[in-house]
C-alpha cells in the first residue's frame, strides 16, 4: 500500500511539473512520514495534497490558492490558524499576503521586521523554527497579537523557498489541546510552503513579463512616433536645401562647386533616409497602397543596376544582373519593388570589399518570381540573422560602425515585399557572403491602374 502511495505522489508532482529541488527534498521527508501513518491518515493526507497540487493550475488566482494552503496547513497540523508572509524588497520587511478573513483588515497594512520576529529569523536563516511557548519567547513579534487581539501560545514557521530563493514564510499558530509541534508538522508545512512558494514565484514572473510587455509597447509607440514626426518635419526643409543648393551650383564659380556638390550629396543622403522613414510610417499606419500593373522584374533589375553602377565602380565592385529563362511579367507595384531591390543592392555594396561582386538574379519558380541579390561580402553572424529585418537594427556595434545607415533599408525592403503578399529571407556565412531572396506571386487579383512607370509592360 505504501508503494502505491509513493507512486501516486510521484505522479502528482510530475503531472504538475514540480521539479524544484527544495520541493523534492520535502517530498522525500513526506514519504517517510506517510510511511509511519495509519492507512486512513495516509489516505487523508494524500487526498489533501492532491487537491492542493491540483490548485496550482485550477485556482482562479493566487489569493484563492494561498487561502487553500493556509486552510490545509491549519487542518493538517491541527492548528488554530495559519498565515503566509511575503518579503517586500522596497520596505525590507515581511508583509502578510494570506491570512484568515477575520484578520485581513488588521494585518494587511502591517509590516513584520526581519529582526525581532520569528518570521524574520526563519526568512534570514532559511530554516524552520518551532516555539512551544511563544509568550515567554522574546523572538515572538507580539505586536501582531495586540493588533489582532489574539493570543499566540505556540507556533511553527517554515521558509518559502523556490529554486534556492526565499520568497516568504508560512506560519501555523496554536496547536490544539496544548500539544507540541512535531517533525511531522514541520514536514507538512514545508510541503505546503514549497507549493505556495512556487505559486508566488509564478505570479511574480507573470507580473514581470506583463510589465516588460507594456514597456516594449511603449517603446514601440515612441519609435513609431519618432518615425512619423521625423519624416514629416524633415521633408520640407530638406527639399528647400536641395533645391537652393542645386540652383546655386549653376550660378557660382568653379571654386565653390565642390562645396555645393558636398551639400547636394549629403542632402540627398538625408533625403533617402527620410524616404525610408516615410515608407516605414506608411506601412505601419496602413497608408501604404499597392498600385498593381503588369511589370517586368527584369527591367526593374536592370534599372537598379544602372542606378548603382557608378557607386559599384567607385568601390571596385562588379555589379551585374542575370535573368534565367524568358521574362515573366507580374502584377505588382513597380515603384515599390524597385525600392525593395534598391535597398538590397545598396546593402550588398556597403558590406562587400573592393574586388568583390554583387549579382541580381531573377527567375520564375513554381508560379512565383524569385529574385535574389548575392554578394561576396563579409557575411552576417548567425546570431543576427533573425533580427536583420527589424527597424533600426545594425549588425555592427553603434560606436564601431563603418558603413553608415540607420538600419531601415532592409526593414523597408521587407515591408515592400510583404505588401505584395510575398516573402523575403536571408542566407549568409561569415567571410563568404550573403544572399537575400524574395518571392513575388506572378498573378494577382488586384485591379490594375493606368501608369507611366518605365517598368510597366505595354
pLDDT digits (tens, 9 = 90+) for 156-167: 999 999 888 999
| Full-model pTM | 0.55
Asked if the model's pLDDT at residue 125 lies above 90, the reply is yes
Domain count, the chain: 3
**Residues 160, 233: one domain?**
no
Q: Which of 408, 391, 390, 392 is nearest to 347 (CA)?
A: 408
Asked if the model's pLDDT at residue 10 lies above 60, the reply is no
State the CATH number of the domain containing residue 436. 3.30.565.10
Asked if the model's pLDDT at residue 456 lies above 70, the reply is no
Question: What distance in Å separates the CA atoms of residue 48 and residue 342, rounded to the nearest whole number?
Answer: 68
Per the model's pLDDT, the better-predicted residue between 235 and 248 turns out to be: 248
130 — pLDDT class (breaks 50, 70, 90): very high
Residue 343, domain extent: 293-441
**Scanning the structure block, which residue is given the C-alpha cell 508583509?**
95
Per the model's pLDDT, the better-predicted residue between 205 and 447 turns out to be: 205
285 — pLDDT class (breaks 50, 70, 90): low
Is residue 457 included in any domain, yes or no?
no
Asked if the model's pLDDT at residue 364 lies above 50, the reply is yes
88-111 pLDDT, tens digit each: 999 999 999 999 988 999 999 999
Asked if the model's pLDDT at residue 16 lies above 50, the reply is no
**Residues 254, 127: one domain?**
no
144-197 pLDDT, tens digit each: 999 999 999 999 999 999 888 999 999 999 999 989 999 989 988 998 998 899
1 — pLDDT class (breaks 50, 70, 90): very low
Per the model's pLDDT, the better-predicted residue between 230 and 95 turns out to be: 95
Helices marked H in 85-136: 104-107, 118-125
**Residues 143, 196: one domain?**
yes
Output the CA torsion sign for 153, 68, 105, 91.
positive
**Residues 197, 254: one domain?**
no
Question: What distance in Å separates the CA atoms of residue 441 and residue 207, rounded to the nearest whole number?
Answer: 44
In which element (H, E) is residue 112 found?
strand 111-112
Amino acid at each position: 500500500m505504501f508503494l502505491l502511495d509513493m507512486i501516486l505522489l510521484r505522479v502528482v508532482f510530475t503531472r504538475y511539473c514540480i521539479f524544484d529541488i527544495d520541493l523534492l527534498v520535502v517530498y522525500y521527508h513526506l514519504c517517510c512520514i506517510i510511511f509511519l501513518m495509519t492507512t486512513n491518515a495516509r489516505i487523508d493526507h494524500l487526498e489533501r495534497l492532491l487537491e492542493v497540487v491540483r490548485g496550482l493550475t485550477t485556482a482562479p488566482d493566487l489569493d484563492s490558492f494561498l487561502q487553500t494552503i493556509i486552510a490545509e496547513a491549519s487542518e493538517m497540523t491541527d492548528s488554530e490558524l495559519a498565515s503566509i508572509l511575503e518579503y517586500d524588497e522596497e520596505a525590507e520587511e515581511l508583509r502578510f499576503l494570506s491570512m484568515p478573513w477575520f484578520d485581513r483588515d488588521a494585518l494587511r497594512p502591517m509590516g513584520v521586521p526581519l529582526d525581532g520576529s520569528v518570521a524574520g529569523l526563519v526568512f534570514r536563516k532559511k530554516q524552520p523554527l518551532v516555539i512551544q511557548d511563544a509568550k515567554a519567547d522574546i523572538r515572538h513579534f507580539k505586536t501582531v497579537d495586540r493588533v489582532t487581539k489574539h493570543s499566540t501560545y505556540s507556533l511553527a514557521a517554515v521558509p518559502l523557498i523556490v529554486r534556492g530563493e526565499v520568497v516568504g514564510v508560512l506560519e501555523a499558530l496554536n496547536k490544539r489541546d496544548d500539544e507540541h509541534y512535531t517533525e511531522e508538522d514541520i514536514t507538512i508545512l514545508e510541503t505546503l510552503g514549497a507549493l505556495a512558494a512556487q505559486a508566488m514565484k509564478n505570479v511574480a514572473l507573470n507580473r514581470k513579463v506583463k510589465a516588460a510587455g507594456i514597456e516594449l509597447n511603449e517603446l514601440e509607440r515612441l519609435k513609431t512616433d519618432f518615425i512619423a514626426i521625423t519624416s514629416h518635419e524633415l521633408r520640407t526643409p530638406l527639399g528647400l536645401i536641395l533645391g537652393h543648393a542645386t540652383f546655386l551650383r549653376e550660378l557660382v564659380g568653379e571654386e565653390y562647386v565642390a562645396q555645393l556638390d558636398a551639400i547636394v550629396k549629403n542632402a540627398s543622403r538625408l533625403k533617402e533616409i527620410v524616404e525610408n522613414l516615410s515608407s516605414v510610417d506608411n506601412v505601419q499606419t496602413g497608408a501604404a497602397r499597392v498600385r498593381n500593373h503588369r511589370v517586368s522584374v527584369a527591367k526593374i533589375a536592370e534599372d537598379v543596376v544602372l542606378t548603382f553602377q557608378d557607386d559599384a565602380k567607385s568601390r571596385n565592385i562588379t555589379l551585374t544582373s542575370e535573368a534565367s529563362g524568358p521574362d515573366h511579367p507580374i502584377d505588382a507595384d513597380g515603384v515599390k519593388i524597385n525600392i525593395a531591390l534598391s535597398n538590397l543592392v545598396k546593402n550588398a555594396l556597403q558590406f562587400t570589399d573592393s574586388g568583390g561582386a554583387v549579382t541580381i538574379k531573377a527567375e520564375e519558380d513554381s508560379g512565383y518570381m524569385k529574385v535574389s541579390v548575392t554578394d561576396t561580402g563579409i557575411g552576417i553572424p548567425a546570431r543576427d540573422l533573425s533580427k536583420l529585418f527589424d527597424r533600426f537594427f545594425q549588425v555592427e556595434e553603434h560606436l564601431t560602425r563603418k558603413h553608415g545607415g540607420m538600419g531601415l533599408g532592409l526593414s523597408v525592403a521587407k515591408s515592400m515585399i510583404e505588401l505584395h503578399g510575398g516573402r523575403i529571407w536571408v542566407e549568409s556565412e561569415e567571410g563568404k557572403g550573403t544572399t537575400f531572396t524574395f518571392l513575388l506571386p506572378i498573378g494577382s487579383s488586384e485591379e490594375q491602374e493606368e501608369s507611366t512607370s518605365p517598368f510597366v509592360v505595354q
